A and B are shown apart, each in its own frame.
Chain A
Amino acid sequence: MEQNISPIGLANQGREVFWNAHSFEPFLFLFTAIAMAIFAYGVYQRWKLWKAMGRDEIRIDELPARIKALIMNGFFQVKTWKDAYPGIMHGCIFFGFFVLIFGAAFDAGEFHITEPLFSWAFLRGSFYLGFSFLMDLFGLLVLIGVLMAAYRRYIQKPDRLTYKGTPDTTADDGIALLLIGGIIITGFLIEALRIHATMIEGIGPDKVAPAWETCSFVGWTLANIMSAVDVESAKTAHKVMWWTHTFIALGFIAYIPYSRLLHIITTPANHFFATLKPTGYVEPIRDIENQESFGVSKLEEFTWKQIFDSDACTKCGRCQDGCPAYLTGKHLSPKKLVQDIKTHWLEIAPAAIKAKLAAVPAAEGAEGAEAPAPVEAAEGAAPEKALLGDVISMHELWDCTNCMYCVENCSSSIEHVQKVIDMRRYKVLTEADFAPELQLTYRNMENNSNPWGIGAHLRADWAKELGVKTLAEDPNVEYLFYVGCSGSFDDRGKKISVAFAKILQSAGVSFGILGTEEGCCGDSAMRGGNEYLFQSQAQANIEIMNGYGVKKIIAICPHGYNCIKKDYPNFGGNYEVYHHTEIIADLVAKGKIKFTKSQDGTFTYHDSCFLGRYNKVYDQPRAILNAIPGVKLAEMERNLSKSFCCGAGGARMWMEEEGDRINNARTDQAIATNAGTIAVGCPFCLTMLSDGIKDKQKSETMVALDIAEIVVKAMGIEEVKAPVDTCAT
């Protein structure tokens, strides 16, 4: 067989496959088959669990986009790299392993396929040298990655690998690292022992010691260390090590489906299945009038993908690292939420499978079919935990601000927020069991179409003296300025509306408002689980907007901006939607806004969740600030996609907060920049940060302003209000 192939020798660099281990080959096949069988069985069992529960949901449409997500996030690990240490750590292990597996595949391919069939041995010569060098290099990278992981998990112990200080670490984490590390270390030892032995014995017909083994630089280095070992001992040690390596590697394969290593399959799959909807899109309850139950109260009411999410979770804790609820000592941790769902799923899925099996023969009436498994037996066990209350506490459910940090930063493409909304829907719609202050907010929205319950007829009062026309007065305008509730009713918010209207007027932009025909956007209702109320608000607004043929909308509140842009299309509202900072940035760029008054001082910009993470509007507000003379921009440590929530999203604006307040935490971060002004682009954030400044007793030195307010000042068109009569005479 081998006669056609030139033997490995001095001039023909290469490695003898199964060197010192020829007789092991059949056993290797046997053990490999066993390992693969164990692996396949495990995956099959898991497959059954994945199929056991959950509603249908289509996640295999738009294949090109999905494959792209798989390649970018699954292979290139784009999301993982965003955190340096864990990114490098995982990259070392993943890419190292990937290359090593390719290497093994090359070896096997040559030995079992190309050599015997085509008499073609390609791992020869300089290709072999490069190959061997790469193998050692990537092996070393894996080892570095494993050591980084071990250091992080067992010595550094960052908070995100815990839940409030209690480590998540289980034996599984250690075993996985030991297996990976073991494969690499034993691999290097095998290589070293082989090099050592062949250096003494020589290779090929000429029995020469191959000097080019230096390419396998790790093995070579180790071989030099063991120079005192005699050939026979080395060969014996090599055999032992060969088997050790084999068993660890095969054990690794067999272990995958039963351990956290399963994420090698589930996480890329989850990237493939990840939503292709815009960030923060909320799947509505369709045909709500004809449903009988609403939202999710039992695990099986989630979609299969929502459950599968939990099996893709690697407990990496990226979500927890920036969760405003978790970081201010609330009960919620997105990681724990997902892990708790996983645990619950693994507890109840087997019974669900049994119940399905029992149902099938009964339905078919098949003769000789196994008697249906007594359902009572499953139920007779410990009483099933309730998803809401037992698995996920009401605290956790309502702690969430929908800030999207977890979703945006999850390296496994898990969709936490929709789950939270689905569960809230059950509490609100089906059970009507939720915080009294939120009930009041909803009643207010029902009766006056704003969360404060201020008379709906007062909605346009802010514009009274500005000469702003309503669409009823003049529908032939380019933009609808959708003011929203804060801008219409909150005295603080009204100042933003006034400022922005003045900017538009001054820049000659054609716009109008809906006046008292405008209604609440419904975002707080939707995110607080009151889908019914949200849909009625959305439909009312859409009817009015479509009635006027509205095409372009500007919103000063990112909550309205986001839901009109992403959620209104579900109900027939399709518009081009802009945030006012996008419009202002454009006007500045086009030179239609001139800054005449220097605004000397340090500003820090707070990225609102619904503007930043939700809509990726990061640059425009900064561009505006940078264009204003005198403005020195200082960034907070948590900014852009890792910005920290103000605490008002997800209907939390209307709820009492326990313990440390999120807005105060964010204010502290702003204070740390020594800025005199916190610039924001959201009236909710403005309220929260203004409160934070007061709470932190910083009113003398710090102020929170909307970008539009800062722009108006810099333009020199700020309304100079006569001070309240303080008895001058």
Chain B
Amino acid sequence: MAKGIFVIAEQRDGALRKVSFELASAARKLADQTSDEVSAILLGSGIESLAAELGKFGVDKVFVGDNAALEPYVTEAHAQVVAKILKDNDAAIALFGASVQGKDLSARVAAKLAGGLATDCTDVKIDGGKFVAVRPMYAGKVFADVTFNTTPAMASLRPNVFPAVENAKAAAVTKVDVAIDAQKSKILEVQKDTSGKVDLTEANIIVSGGRGMKGPDEYKILEELADVLKGTVGASRAAVDAGWRPQKDQVGQTGKVVSPNLYIACGISGAIQHLAGMSSSKCIVAINKDAEAPIFTKADFGVVDDLFKVVPELTAACKKMLA
């Protein structure tokens, strides 16, 4: 019978990504319930030393695939190795990160193994001896319990949801040597964001300003907050029309429709045109001195106060918190 909970660790440029520890901790928790073992799969080139770090978060065994062909990440090569390890070891459960890379890889691996996969899970549990993955559907309007008819049961876990808990284990390294097929895809260029700013539609956090900003120079305080939160600055139509912000920054019916994890609306009253462009944001914060502003009816958190006082304080508070 299939046994072993596998986590597919994710590293970039020789450093493990945070989601890898979240996966390890989640796996540990499951393994402790079923007296099972947690294995990690770590692929790349010159990354063996990272295995120990995984051990800190409860990984018993680490399968290390160290091969120049595995660096940088190319889907097909990674999928080939991961699938082989899962299959060779008759894994019961495999957990991926629901990062860009994890989503890309997990589906390919699932197809190779003709297995079931649940994406972007917010919870995983053992229910009646069976592995159950909980995941949002319909943009969070519904949550589903997913069960699996094949092994390994595969799930990708949403980053930032599962806590990374230290729990030192041996992390015994097993080297895996797989002859990797010639690749059809080639990475030509990696262009790192130097600005640290993402396009509005892809941003996880948006700090947006409206008519209440009073002028173009005042956006500096929003930019400072966005910098701290690694977010992007947006604007309402009023601000764009007034020429305070470029058109590309406009959020709303006639601008960009966004759905970040966090949308902070500063000095935006919440005209329907604006709401149509951001109401699918997962968490909405409104900062406005007008308590009657319609934006408050849509906000998860509201601050009724002068944004010119609140925003700099918020920047300072977040800076401290994220330090």
A440-B253, A723-B291, A724-B296 as given contacts; A490 in contact with B276, CB under 8 Å: no
Q: Shortest beta-carbon distance, B279 to chain A, in Å?
A: 9
Mark contacts of A191-204 with chain B using CB atoms, 8 A cut-off: 1 yes-contact digit, 0 otherwise. 00000000000000
Q: Is B167 an interface residue (CB 8 A)?
A: no
30 A-B pairs with C-beta separation under 8 A: A437-B253, A437-B254, A440-B253, A440-B254, A452-B253, A452-B272, A453-B276, A454-B276, A489-B272, A491-B297, A492-B272, A492-B294, A654-B254, A655-B254, A661-B241, A691-B238, A691-B271, A694-B211, A694-B238, A695-B211, A695-B238, A695-B242, A723-B291, A723-B292, A724-B291, A724-B292, A724-B296, A724-B302, A726-B291, A726-B304
User: Contact string, A442-459, partner B, CB cutoff 8 A, digits 1/0?
Assistant: 000000000011100000
Counting from the closest, the 10 A-B pairs by CB-CB distance are: A437-B254, A491-B294, A724-B291, A490-B272, A452-B276, A726-B304, A726-B291, A656-B254, A724-B296, A452-B272
Closest residue on chain B to residue A694 by CB atoms: B211
Residues from chain A with Cβ under 8 Å of B272 in the complex: 452, 454, 489-492
Query: Closest residue of chain A to B254, judged by CB?
Result: A437
Which residues of the other chain, B, contact A723 by a CB distance below 8 angstroms? 291-292
Interface residues of B in 36-83 (CB under 8 A from A): none
Interface residues, chain B, with chain A CB atoms under 8 Å away: 211, 238, 241-242, 253-254, 269-273, 276, 291-292, 294, 296-297, 302, 304
Name the residue on B nearest A727 (C-beta): B304
Please name the residue on chain B nearest to A655 by beta carbon.
B254
Smallest CB gap from A664: residue in B: B241
Q: Which A residues are CB-close (under 8 A) to B304?
A: 724, 726
Measured CB to CB, the closest approach of chain A to B244, in angstroms, equals: 12
Closest CB in chain B relative to A23 CB, distance in Å = 77
Q: Beyond the given A491-B294, A654-B254, A724-B304, please list 10 additional residue pairs across the A-B interface where CB-CB is below 8 A.
A: A452-B253, A452-B272, A454-B276, A490-B272, A491-B270, A492-B272, A654-B253, A691-B238, A694-B211, A723-B292
Query: Chain B contacts of A441 at CB under 8 A?
Result: 253
Q: How far apart sit A654 and B254, CA to CA, in the bound complex (Å)? A: 8
- How many A-B Cβ pairs are below 8 Å? 45
- State in angstroms the CA–CA spacing of A726 and B288 once bound together: 12
Complex Cα distance, B237 from A655, in Å, reads 12
Restricting to A578-628, which residues have a CB under 8 Å from any CB of B? Answer: none
B301–chain A nearest beta-carbon distance, Å: 13
Most A CB atoms within 10 A — which of B273, B296, B297, B304?
A: B273
Which residues of A have CB within 8 Å of B238?
A: 691, 694-695
For A695, list chain B residues within 8 Å (CB).
211, 238, 241-242
Complex Cα spacing A726 to B302, Å: 9
Q: Which residues of B contact A724 (CB under 8 A)?
A: 291-292, 296, 302, 304
Bound Cα distance A452, B279 (Å): 12
A723 to B272, CA, bound (A): 20
| Bound CA–CA A656/B240 (angstroms) | 11
A489 surroundings in chain B (CB, below 8 A) = 272
Interface size class of A (residues with CB under 8 A): 20 to 34
Contacts of A655 in B (CB 8 A): 254
| Chain A residues positioned under 8 Å from B302 (CB to CB) | 724
- C-alpha spacing A477/B238, complex, angstroms: 43
Residues of A within 8 A of B296 (CB): 724
* Cβ contacts A697-729/B at 8 Å (1 or 0 each): 000000000000000000000000001101000
Which residues of A (489-512) have their CB < 8 Å from a CB of B? 489-492
> Min CB distance, A286 to chain B, in Å?
32
Q: Considering the chains assembled together, what is the distance between the CA atoms of A642 and B94 in angstroms?
A: 73
CB contacts (< 8 Å) of A691 on chain B: these are: 238, 271
A724 to B269, CA, bound (A): 14
Residues of A within 8 A of B292 (CB): 723-724
Q: Which residues of B contact A492 (CB under 8 A)?
A: 271-272, 294
Determine the chain A residues whose CB is within 8 A of the CB of B270 once the complex forms.
491
B306 CB to closest chain A CB, in angstroms?
Answer: 13
The digit string for A146-190, where 1 denotes a CB below 8 A from any CB of B, is 000000000000000000000000000000000000000000000
Q: Which residue of A lies closest to B295 (CB)?
A: A491
Q: In the bound complex, what is the Cα–Cα distance between A353 and B272 (angstroms)?
A: 54
Most B Cβ at <10 Å: residue of A440, A452, A489, A491 = A491
Report the bound CA distance from A655 to B273 in whole Å.
11
B269 contact set on A, CB distance < 8 A: 694
CA distance A694 to B272 in the complex (A): 15
Closest to B255 in A: A437
Chain B positions within 8 Å of A726 at CB level:
291, 304
Return the chain A residue nearest B297 by Cβ.
Answer: A491
Q: Give A57 to B297 CA distance when docked, in angstroms.
A: 53
Q: Give the distance to chain B from A465, nearest Cβ to Cβ, in Å.
A: 15
Within 8 A of B (CB), among A640-669: 654-656, 661
Docked Cα-Cα span, A489 to B271, in Å, equals 11
Chain B nearest CB, measured from A464 CB (Å): 14
Whole-angstrom distance between the Cβ of B228 and the nearest chain A Cβ? 26
**A653-688 with Cβ < 8 A to chain B:** 654-656, 661, 687
- In whole Å, how far is B309's beta carbon from the nearest beta carbon of chain A? 15
Q: In whole angstroms, how far apart are the Cα atoms of A654 and B276 in the complex?
A: 12
CA distance A232 to B292 in the complex (A): 93
In angstroms, Cα B271 to Cα A441, docked, is 16
For the complex, what is the distance from the CA of A655 to the CA of B241, rounded to whole Å? Answer: 13
**Distance A695 CA – B276 CA, assembled complex (angstroms):** 21
Residue on B with the closest CB to A656? B254
Whose C-beta in chain B lies nearest to the C-beta of A440?
Answer: B253
Residues of A within 8 A of B253 (CB): 437, 440-441, 452, 654
User: In the bound complex, what is the Cα–Cα distance between A489 and B254 (angstroms)?
Assistant: 17
CB A437 to nearest CB in B, in angstroms, measures 4
What is the bound-complex CA distance between A691 and B292, given in angstroms?
16
Kindly state the separation between the CA atoms of A656 and B254 in the bound complex, as whole angstroms: 7
CB distance from B250 to the nearest CB of A (A): 9
Of chain A, the residue at the smallest CB distance from B270 is: A491
Q: How far is the CB of B14 from chain A (nearest CB, A)?
A: 43
Smallest CB–CB gap between A520 and chain B, Å?
A: 14
Question: Nearest Cβ distance between residue B310 and chain A, in whole angstroms?
Answer: 14
What is the bound-complex CA distance between A453 and B254, given in angstroms?
12
Contacts of B241 in A (CB 8 A): 661, 695
Assembled-state Cα–Cα distance A723/B291 (Å): 7
How far, in angstroms, from A452 to B278 measured CA to CA in the complex?
12
From residue A694, how far is it (CB to closest CB) to chain B in Å? Answer: 6
Taking CB atoms, residues of chain B closer than 8 Å to A656 are 254
- The complex places the Cα of A130 from the Cα of B310 at a distance, in Å, of 87
> CA of A687 to CA of B272 in the docked complex: distance in angstroms?
10
Please indicate the chain A residues that have their CB under 8 angstroms from the CB of B271 in the complex: 492, 687, 691
Say how far B218's CB is from chain A's closest CB, in angstroms: 15
B254 surroundings in chain A (CB, below 8 A): 437, 440, 654-656
Chain B minimum-CB-distance residue to A485: B272
Give, as a whole number of angstroms, the nearest-CB distance from A697 to chain B.
10
- Complex formed: what's the CA distance from A73 to B292 in Å? 52
Roughly how many angstroms separate A655 CA and B254 CA in the complex, as a whole number?
A: 7
- Distance, CA A655 to CA B255, complexed state (A): 11
Chain B residues with Cβ below 8 Å from A453 are 276
In the complex, A8→B54 CA distance in Å? 129
Please measure, in the bound complex, the distance between the C-alpha atom of A661 and the C-alpha atom of B237, giving whole angstroms. Answer: 13
Q: Which residue of B lies closest to A687 (CB)?
A: B271
Chain B residues lying within 8 Å of A490, measured Cβ to Cβ, are 272
Measured CB to CB, the closest approach of chain A to B67, in angstroms, equals 47
Min Cβ gap A491→B in Å is 4
A489 to B294, CA, bound (A): 13
Complex CA–CA separation, A441 to B254 (angstroms): 9
Q: Please report the C-alpha to C-alpha distance between residue A183 and residue B304 in the assembled complex, in whole angstroms.
A: 77
Determine the distance from Cα of A726 to Cα of B292 in the docked complex, in whole angstroms.
10
**Minimum distance in angstroms from B242 CB to a CB of chain A:** 8
| A435 vs chain B, min Cβ distance (A) | 9
Cβ–Cβ < 8 Å partners of B276 in chain A: 452-454
Closest chain-B Cβ to A135's Cβ sits at a distance in Å of: 62
Chain A residue at smallest Cβ distance from B272? A490
Q: How far is the CA of A726 from the CA of B286 in the complex (A)?
A: 13
Distance in angstroms from A657 CB to nearest chain B CB is 8
Give min CB distance, A16 to chain B, whole Å: 76
- In the complex, what's the smallest C-beta–C-beta distance from A378 to chain B, in angstroms? 44
